[in-house]
Amino acid sequence: MTHHTSSPSSPAHPPSSGLPTGEEVLQTLPWRWGAQGRIFLIGGLGFMFDAWDIALNGILIPLLSAEWGLTASDAAWIGTSNLIGMAVGAVMWGTIADRIGRKKAFAWTLLIFSVFTVAGAMTNDLTWFVLFRFLAGVGLGGCVPVDYALVGEFTPAKHRGRVLTAMDGWWPIGAALAGFVSAWLVGTWNDWRLPLLVMVLPALLIFFVRLFVPESPLYLIRQGRLDEARRVIDGLVARTGAAVREYQLEASERPAGLTLKSMGEQLKLVWAYSWRITTAAWVMFLAVMTVYYIALQWMPHFLIEAGYEQSRAFITSAGMAAVGLIGVLISTALVELTGRRALLAVTAPIATAMLVGLALVMDVPGLVLTLVLAFGLIIQISIPVLYTYVSELYPTHLRGSGFGWASTVSRIGAGIGPLLFVAWLEPTLGLAGAFSVCLVSVVIAVVVMVRLAPDTTREHLT
C-alpha cells in the first residue's frame, strides 16, 4: 500500500472512510530512540534544569540567611516567591501551550527561568532577589505541564505510562546536581552567586528544541493544521520503521487567541469536564507536592539547625535527591503492573511518614541519613506516577490546562505551605508534629483520589 499524502488543497478522508485516524497511527507506533526518544531526551533535559533551579532554593536559604542576616520567615520568601511564580506560570503556560503549541511554549519557559535565575546573582537586596525568583518561577511553572503534554502526545499508548514515569528520572538528577555542584562551587570559592550563574545553561537547549523537536501532531490536528500534522506523523512513521498505511485527519475548529478571558474559560472547561477528576487532581497535587517542596527546600536548613556542617547538609540533601533516581526506576517498573492509583495510594503516605520519623531522630546521624535517603527514594516513586496519572485524566484539548491548573494549586500550596511550616507549625508543634500534619493531609488526599477519580492504566489518550 502506498503512503497516503496530501497537498494543502486535498481534503482529509471523511470520518466514514473506515481508515484509522492520525491519532490512532501515532499511538500505535513502535517507540524508537531516534524518533520519540529524542523528544524524551530534550524534554528531559529541560525538566532536569527545572529541578536544578528549584533545588537551588534549598541551597540559597541557608547561604543568604547567613549572608544577609535573614530570619526564618524572611528566608522563606526565597522559596515561596519562586513557587508562587510557578503557580502563575503553570496555569499561564499550560493555557498558552494549548493555544500556541507545545514546542514554542517549551522554548519560552526555558529562556525565562534561565534569564531571571542568572539575574538573581546581580543583586544584594532581598526584595529584588525575591522578585527575580518569582519571575524565574513563572518560567519554571510552565516546564512541567508543557513537557508532559509534549512528550505524552508523542508516546505510543502502550509505552506511555513507563515513558512519562521515566521522565521524572530527570528530576532527581537535576536536584542532585544542584546540591553537589553548589556544594563544590561554594566550598571552593565561597560565593553564593556562582550556583545561580550556572543556570545560563538551560537557554542553550532552545537551539536543540528548534532543530529536533517537532510540534505535537495532536495539537496540530486540534488546530486544524492538518498538512503540518500529516508531515509530523509521516516523519515518525518513517523514523520508527513502522508499516506505512493510509489514515484520515479530521479538521477541527481553530481556537481563539489567548486572552485573560480565555484562561478563565479554560478553567471553567476543566471543571465542566469532570469536577470529580479535577478535585482529585488538585488535592493530590496540593498534598504531595507541598510535602516534597518543604523537604527539598528546607532539608539543608533543618540539618544545619540540628548541628550538621553546611557542606554535609548540602551533600546529604543532594543524596536525598540523587537516590530518587532509583525511586523513578522502581516507579517506571511498577506503574503498569500496579496501576496508577494503587501505587500513589501506598507510596505518598509512606514517604511522608519517613519525614515524621526523621524529625524524631535528628540527633542520631546514622538514622537521619537512612530516613533522608528513604524519603528521597519513596517520594520519587510517588511523584512520577502522580504526574503521569493527572496528565492522562484529561483529553488533548484540556491536557495542558488541566495539568497546569492542578500544578498551579500545588505551587500555591507549596509556596505558602513552607512559610506556614517554618513560621507557625514547627514553632508550635515541633518538627515531628508539623510533619504529622502533612501526613494527615496526604492520607485525606489519597482517600479523595480513590473515591473520585478512575484509573487510567493502558487507556488511550483522547
pLDDT value of residue 207: 82
**CA separation for the pair 462, 451 (Å, rounded):** 23
**CA separation for the pair 387, 36 (Å, rounded):** 19
pLDDT value of residue 251: 65
**CA separation for the pair 370, 376 (Å, rounded):** 10
Query: Which pLDDT band, with edges at 50, 70 and 90, does 23 fall under?
Result: confident
How big is the CA angle at 76 (ends 361 and 418), to the nearest 5 degrees?
Answer: 55
* CB-count burial class (<10 Å; 0-12, 13-18, 19+) for 124: exposed
Residue 60 within a domain: yes
pLDDT value of residue 11: 40
For the cut 50, the answer to whether the pLDDT of residue 182 exceeds it is yes
For the cut 60, the answer to whether the pLDDT of residue 12 exceeds it is no
Residue 227 within a domain: yes
pLDDT value of residue 252: 59
For the cut 70, the answer to whether the pLDDT of residue 259 exceeds it is no
pLDDT value of residue 262: 65
Residue 351 within a domain: yes
Q: What is the mean pLDDT of residues 231-244?
A: 92
Q: Of all residues in the chain, what percent are helix, strand and coil, respectively (each to 5)?
A: 80, 0, 20
Q: What is the mean pLDDT of residues 398-426?
A: 84
**CA separation for the pair 379, 320 (Å, rounded):** 10
pLDDT value of residue 321: 94
Comparing CA positions, the residue from 288, 281, 303, 302 lying closest to residue 378 is 288
Query: Which pLDDT band, with edges at 50, 70 and 90, does 261 fall under?
Result: low
Q: What percent of the chain has pLDDT over 90?
A: 51
What CATH number did the domain enclosing 431 receive? 1.20.1250.20
For the cut 90, the answer to whether the pLDDT of residue 408 exceeds it is no
Q: Give residue-wise pLDDT tens across range 306-364.
A: 999 988 999 999 999 999 999 988 998 898 888 889 999 999 999 999 999 999 999 89
Structurally, how many domains does the chain consist of?
1
Residue 2 within a domain: no
Q: What percent of the chain has pLDDT over 70?
A: 92
What cell numbers appear for 136 in the block?
524565574
Residue 237 within a domain: yes
Query: Which pLDDT band, with edges at 50, 70 and 90, does 1 fall under?
Result: very low
Q: Give residue-wise pLDDT tens across range 107-151.
A: 999 899 899 999 999 999 999 999 999 999 999 878 877 887 888
Q: Give residue-wise pLDDT tens across range 419-456.
A: 899 989 999 999 999 999 999 999 999 999 999 998 87
Query: Which pLDDT band, with edges at 50, 70 and 90, does 260 fall under?
Result: low
3-state secondary structure string across 38-93: HHHHHHHHHHHHHHHHHHHHHHHHHHHHHHHCCCHHHHHHHHHHHHHHHHHHHHHH
pLDDT value of residue 277: 94
**Domain range for 275:** 15-452
pTM score, whole prediction: 0.80
Note whether 354 and 137 are within 8 A (CB): no
